[in-house]
Structure 1
Amino acid sequence: EVDMIEIGLPFSDPLADGPTIQASSTLALKNGMTTQLLFQQLEKIRETVSIPLIIMGYFNPILQYGVEAFCEKCAHIGIDGLIIPDLPVDVYQEHYQALFSQYNLLNIFLITPQTSEERIRYIDSVSNGFIYMVSSA
């Protein structure tokens, strides 16, 4: 049984990702993948899939699309949440938390085993979904 599906939003410069994700992003973009095409595909998927769908991607493509337009499109399709590793928690809280809330989108933050307890508490206080624990290499 699957509890949720995480869908990657390809980006041309995925520096925080490992070689496999970097290669898949490059190939997807080379083959014509765009944010709009991803949304079209997710709309089709949502017709038959009822479990939560989470988009994971860098903030730049979301900014390029327009943050509110992106959130609105996600809500229209039925996307449940976003994982945006390069969106700082304080920037999210100050500028985007109300917008995400308006469109009923969870914002899922990342922590590592090295994240301090104080930082985890702060992230937890801002989170409305779950917190994603990234394993250390």
Structure 2
Amino acid sequence: MTEDDAPQMPPDIPEYLSVWSTYGQRAVWERVIAQGGNKDVALGALSALPEASALDALKANRAAVDLLVGRRWYVMREAREAGATWEAIGDALGVTKQGAQDYYRRKIEKQEMLVSDLHDAARARAVLDEGVSPNIVF
């Protein structure tokens, strides 16, 4: 198997943020040109940057948000296992305690439905109740 044949991981947050950042940098230099700034400097900076359109940036934004939100549930579980309350988790996410619990419950139900063979349902559900000590060691 050559390096070109090796399985490739899908893009992740750093790659998506790079596209987003590149688009932003290109937009700044294009504004410099549009506003009568030093065209030679701006064109030099633009030539050093990869292409990234507004649509590329929006696609990268959506993909990054989807990844982050998709990974949120297990970080919520780990916060509970570390002793965080549902109220504190809700505050961190900008939602109520109930909103955080409802979101988490929906996500673990989805995990159980889609990847039950890979999902530790007992661990995921153990952190739901306030009355149960979330300090679980795995």
TM-score using structure 1 length: 0.26
1 or 2, which has the higher strand percentage? Answer: 1
More helix by share: 2
The higher radius of gyration belongs to 2
Q: TM-score, normalised by structure 2?
A: 0.26
